[in-house]
């Protein structure tokens, strides 16, 4: 190899390395988000388990009687089966989120993508005592996105909103997830909370990697989300919510 | 006064849990009223309704802990048994500090819940009986004339008739008559019982 000659392979290899690194970072951030949600999911799983335990014990009690009411026992068994199915569905939802898939962009209906995640988001919100509302705009154009990545962004924004509501009185804790058509034909997704709003000092640094206000945060959520949305030729930003709180928005070009 | 039948209120936002508890209680012959939210309970509950409350700590909207605070503010005496999910122990501790009757972690043994409910119902009955007794005593004390009340206050401080007569500017004979009226109106059989009655009623005279 002659001095001064740079193999065309070289830059592309480091480009590949950077891409790999970014991929791993996204994976770490995604798992961290899922980890944060695990506590909520555990709580949610505990509900059907509690119901199953109670029905089973009541059923056993009924059978101990000299003249057991078989119809009641049958009802207990039916309820046990229904609650077990419910527990299974919770686990399936979680697993579909953890499964690693190749990045793949497809024309996607953003509302459908949100609805797919709605139950999991509601679980998370419920555990935090937060009311979650969806205001999905009708007739939006499709967007060219990787489902898992956009869902990751959505969950990140939700987790931030829930965190921001921790010190707000329970009756006032609310998050609204909305979609609408933007001025230049793009699709806008926003998450608005009724929290205290964003401290200007925090606002300056919150998109930086490893900056976190959470006790156990990785500081990757917003920076990785920004990267993901940037890679989709979209923008991620925030504004004040009326009358109070913060609103984060994602704008994605129509497919 | 009309005696109301004790009711077990179950407040849990999870329909599965709520229905399973009603089913269990029914299987042991206890009837329960189930409610999906703390707000629903607050709007329907009458404080003179005896019973106990089985309450989920963590609920959207008004949480179990906040409902407990509301009840405390309203002076409701209904015993509260908290049921908590996994990892809610700090909340349970807070609940106990605010006067919760007991708490259980989900899922629980049915007998543990039933035992606690029965203890709570017994405690509620005892509290309500004590309150009724206090009201009766207060009514009796209210029936005393101002003069009799003065005599009672001096009796509470253990003053002999002679001293009372001097302090009130009355004859010993008059003091004796007032004293007998006090005992009669309060239905106390001894000075010791009278003192305890007045103490329990919370209407203790100022010590001068």
Contacts of A75 in chain B (CB under 8 A): 23
pLDDT, tens digit, 9 for 90 and up, residues A114-170: 998 898 888 888 888 899 999 999 999 999 998 888 988 999 899 899 989 988 988
Reading phi first (left if > 0) and then psi (alpha if -120 to 50, else beta), residue A143 is in beta
pTM: predicted TM-score of the whole model, two decimal places: 0.66
pLDDT, tens digit, 9 for 90 and up, residues A62-81: 999 888 889 999 999 999 99
> Is B27 near chain A, with CB under 8 Å?
yes
pLDDT, tens digit, 9 for 90 and up, residues B83-132: 988 667 788 888 888 889 999 988 899 999 999 999 999 999 999 998 88
> Is B86 near chain A, with CB under 8 Å?
yes
Nearest to B15 by CA among B42, B41, B40, B34: B34
Assembly ipTM:
0.72
* A130/B23 Cβ within 8 A: no
* A51/B16 Cβ within 8 A: yes
- For residue B82, report the phi and psi dihedrals to the nearest 5 degrees: -90, 140
Which of B20, B106, B109 has its CB closest to that of A79? B20
Contacts of B61 in chain A (CB under 8 A): 129, 131, 170-171
Topology annotation, domain A105-252: Heat Shock Protein 90 (3.30.565)
> Distance (Å, rounded) from C-alpha B163 to C-alpha B144?
21
| Band of residue A219 on the pLDDT scale cut at 50, 70, 90 | confident
Q: Helices A70-98 and A147-164, interaxial angle, to 10°?
A: 110
- Does residue B208 have a pLDDT over 50? no
Name all domains of chain B by residue range, CATH numbers in brackets: 7-132 (3.40.50.2300), 143-201 (1.10.10.10)
User: Most distant CA pair in chain B: distance in Å?
Assistant: 74
| B2 DSSP 8-state letter | P
Nearest to B155 by CA among B198, B95, B100: B198
Contacts of A47 in chain B (CB under 8 A): 14, 16-17, 85, 106
Contacts of B87 in chain A (CB under 8 A): 39, 42-43
> Distance (Å, rounded) from C-alpha B208 to C-alpha B202?
17
CA of A75 vs chain B CAs: smallest distance (Å): 10
> Is B62 near chain A, with CB under 8 Å?
yes
* B62/A171 Cβ within 8 A: yes
Residues 141-170 of A with CB under 8 A from B: 170
Which of B21, B61, B87 has its CB closest to that of A54? B21
The residue extents of the domains of chain A are 105-252
pLDDT, tens digit, 9 for 90 and up, residues B1-29: 456 789 999 999 899 999 999 999 999 98
């Amino acid at each position: 190899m002659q001095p001064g000659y740079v193999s065309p392979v070289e830059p592309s290899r480091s480009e590949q390395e950077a891409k790999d690194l970014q991929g791993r970072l996204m994976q770490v951030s995604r798992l961290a988000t899922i980890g944060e949600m695990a506590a909520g999911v555990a709580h949610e799983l505990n509900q059907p388990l509690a119901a199953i335990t109670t029905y089973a014990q009541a059923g056993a009690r009924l059978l101990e009687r000299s003249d057991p009411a078989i119809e009641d026992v049958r009802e207990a068994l039916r309820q046990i089966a229904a609650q077990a199915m419910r527990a299974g569905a919770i686990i399936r939802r979680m697993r579909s989120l953890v499964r690693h898939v190749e990045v793949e962009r497809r024309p996607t209906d953003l509302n459908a993508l949100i609805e797919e995640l709605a139950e999991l988001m509601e679980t998370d919100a419920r555990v935090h005592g937060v009311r979650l509302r969806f205001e999905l705009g009708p007739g939006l154009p499709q967007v060219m996105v990787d489902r898992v990545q956009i869902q990751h962004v959505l969950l990140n924004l939700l987790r931030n909103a829930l965190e921001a509501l921790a010190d707000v009185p329970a009756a006032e804790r609310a998050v609204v997830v909305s979609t609408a058509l933007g001025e230049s034909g793009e699709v806008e997704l926003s998450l608005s909370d009724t929290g205290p709003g964003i401290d200007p000092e925090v606002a300056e640094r919150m998109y930086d990697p490893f900056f976190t206000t959470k006790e156990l945060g990785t500081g990757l959520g917003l920076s990785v989300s920004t990267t993901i949305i940037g890679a989709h030729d979209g923008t991620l930003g925030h504004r004040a919510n009326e009358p109070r709180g913060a609103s984060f928005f994602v704008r994605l070009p129509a497919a | 006064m009309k005696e109301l039948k004790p009711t077990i209120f179950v407040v849990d936002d999870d329909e599965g849990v709520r229905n399973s508890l009603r089913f269990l209680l029914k299987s042991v012959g206890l009837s329960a009223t189930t409610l999906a939210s703390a707000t629903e309970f607050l709007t329907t509950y009458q404080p003179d309704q005896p019973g106990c409350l089985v309450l989920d700590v963590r609920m959207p909207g008004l949480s179990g802990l906040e409902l407990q605070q509301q009840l405390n503010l309203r002076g409701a005496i209904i015993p509260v048994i908290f049921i908590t999910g996994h990892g809610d122990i700090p909340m349970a501790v807070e609940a106990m500090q605010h006067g919760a009757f007991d708490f259980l972690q989900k899922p629980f043994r049915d007998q543990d819940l039933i035992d606690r409910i029965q203890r709570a119902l017994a405690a509620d009955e005892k509290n309500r009986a004590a309150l009724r007794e206090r009201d009766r005593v207060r009514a009796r004390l209210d029936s005393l004339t101002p003069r009799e009340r003065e005599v009672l206050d001096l009796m509470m401080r253990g003053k002999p008739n002679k001293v009372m007569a001097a302090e009130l500017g009355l004859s010993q004979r008059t003091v004796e008559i007032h004293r007998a009226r006090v005992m009669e109106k309060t239905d106390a059989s001894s000075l010791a019982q009278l003192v305890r009655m007045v103490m329990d009623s919370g209407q203790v005279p100022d010590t001068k």
